[in-house]
């Protein structure tokens, strides 16, 4: 499709009856939490029809923001067809088994972008981390009936009690909120709770794809003019447009900076509030589950420290006899669902180490990216190990005195 909006709009354009119903439509389903399918139920899913409507909008001088929903639907249909996904029936609320192939197809598409376009580092990193994410989701669904949260709660309680016994009640308040929440509520978490949170996470996965992948598909098929059209329509701001200009620059540092902005958009705009909602689900329940997921995560990017080993718990206090007691336990002092903490980890671990792989170890990275995605997904099934990880953390908890 030729990029639109390159001419001058008419002051009072005459809108054809065919086009009128598809203008000024709200993006009611840009957040996939509202239902399956595309961005507005009034829009068609036929790529040729959408392209024809957009060309008509250009000929009739329609102001780009008026056809924003139509344009995003076209780009979303284009990229889902390229990825092999049926947009009309894509419903994240249907669960992992119903969406397994969508997970495989979407992340395989990410990986293909990186393999064919060295500058698309956000897509490559998303593809690798997506396998870890998808494997965890499979465990969430398949194990929700037998997940040993009561046993995990017992272990978490033991760590809390040890802290209380050695360091006192003030020190307990310094333990991660997620660990304390797990101790308080782990025994009451139900399979229904897990299914609810699973649905929210699958919604996030579709939201990321639906926001970033239309941009990527426009870039690889039509270049920056197609992205400028999306920008004029108000689908993203100047910061994102400038990021794409950097990505296309051919300059190493600018490419990295542009991809960083795309990652900030993903984590800080597209899914930020949804992670907050998951963490706040039923009070301690969401806090406990998101903390448990932080313990379980194991990103596949070479050299990246697992979240559970990043900034582990260390608490010091002065005892009545004047000695300083320090408790350490090999559990994270932070929670992946909190944006500032998540971004600290991403910008310290994931971003620089993935960039180094692209620039210095491309053959190794390429080999990892080319691994069949079904196989990659099955190899990333960490959640089943959380009880053992917690028990190991309990055994590794130490107190030193100075």
pLDDT above 90: percentage of residues in the chain: 59
**Phi, psi values for residue 29, rounded to 5°:** -120, 25
Write down the mean pLDDT value for the chain: 88
pLDDT score for 192:
85
Instruction: Identify the pLDDT of residue 10.
Output: 47
What SS3 string covers the chain? Answer: CCCCCCCCCCCCCCCCCCCHHHCCCCCCCCCHHHCCCCCCCCCCCCHHHHHHHHHHHHHCCCCHHHHHHHHHHHHHHHHHHHHCCCCCCCCHHHCHHHHHHHHHHHHHHHHHHHHHCCCCHHHHHHHHHHHHHHHHHHHHHHCCCCCCHHHHHHHHHHHHHHHHHHHCHHHHCCCCHHHHHHHHHHHHCCHHHHHHHHHHHHHHHHHHHHHHHHHHHHHHHHCHHHHHHHHHCCCCCHHHHHHHHHHCCCCHHHHHHHHHHHHHHHHHHHCHHHHHHHHCCCCHHHHHHHHHHHHHCCCCCCCCCCHHHCCEEEEEEECCCCCEEEEEEEEECCCCCCHHHHHHHHHHHHHHHHHHHHHHCHHHHHHHHCCCHHHHHHCCCCHHHHHHHHHHHHHCCEEEEC
* Residue 326 β-bridge partners: 316, 400
Give CA–CA dist 73/214, Å, rounded.
Answer: 9
**Structure tokens, 146:** 């037998």
pLDDT in tens, 89-98: 999 999 888 8
Residue 325 phi, psi (nearest 5): -105, 135
Rounded to two decimals, the pTM is 0.89
Give the sign of the dihedral formed by CA 165, CA 170, CA 174, CA 177.
positive
- Which residue, chain included where needed, has tokens 């024809």? 52
Q: What residues of the chain score a pLDDT lower than 50?
A: 2, 5-12, 145-146
Going by C-alpha positions, the residue among 290, 291, 298 that lies closest to residue 159 is 291
């Amino acid at each position: 499709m030729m990029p639109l909006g390159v001419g001058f709009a008419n002051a009072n354009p005459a809108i054809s009856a065919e086009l009128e119903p598809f203008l000024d439509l709200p993006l009611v389903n840009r957040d996939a939490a509202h239902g399956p399918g595309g961005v507005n139920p009034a829009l068609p899913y036929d790529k040729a029809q959408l392209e024809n409507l957009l060309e008509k909008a250009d000929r009739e001088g329609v102001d780009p923001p008026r056809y924003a929903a139509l344009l995003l639907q076209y780009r979303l249909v284009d990229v889902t067809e390229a990825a092999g996904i049926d947009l009309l029936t894509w419903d994240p609320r249907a669960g992992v088994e119903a969406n397994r192939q969508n997970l495989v197809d979407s992340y395989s598409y990410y990986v293909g972008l990186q393999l064919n376009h060295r500058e698309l580092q956000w897509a490559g990193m998303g593809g690798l981390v997506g396998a870890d994410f998808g494997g965890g989701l499979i465990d969430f669904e398949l194990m929700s009936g037998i997940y040993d949260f009561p046993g995990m709660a017992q272990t978490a309680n033991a760590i809390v009690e040890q802290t209380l016994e050695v360091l006192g009640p003030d020190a307990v308040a310094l333990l991660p909120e997620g660990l304390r929440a797990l101790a308080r509520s782990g025994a009451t978490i139900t399979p229904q709770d897990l299914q609810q949170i699973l649905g929210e996470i699958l919604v996030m996965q579709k939201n990321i794809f639906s926001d970033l992948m239309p941009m990527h598909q426009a870039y690889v098929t039509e270049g920056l003019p197609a992205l400028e059209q999306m920008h004029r329509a108000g689908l993203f701001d100047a910061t994102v447009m400038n990021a794409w200009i950097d990505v296309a620059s051919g300059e190493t540092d600018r490419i990295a900076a542009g991809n960083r902005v795309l990652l900030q958009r993903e984590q800080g705009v597209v899914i930020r509030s949804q992670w907050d909602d998951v963490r706040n689900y039923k009070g301690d329940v969401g806090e406990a589950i998101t903390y448990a997921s932080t313990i379980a995560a194991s990103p596949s990017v070479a050299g990246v420290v697992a979240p559970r080993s990043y900034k582990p718990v260390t608490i010091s206090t002065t005892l009545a006899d004047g000695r300083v007691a320090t408790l350490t336990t090999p559990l994270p002092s932070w929670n992946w669902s909190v944006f500032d903490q998540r971004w600290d980890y991403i910008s310290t671990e994931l971003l620089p180490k993935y960039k180094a792989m692209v620039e210095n170890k491309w053959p190794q990275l390429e080999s990892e990216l080319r691994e069949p995605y079904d196989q990659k997904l099955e190899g990333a099934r960490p959640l089943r190990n959380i009880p053992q990880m917690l028990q190991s953390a309990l055994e590794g908890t130490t107190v030193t005195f100075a």
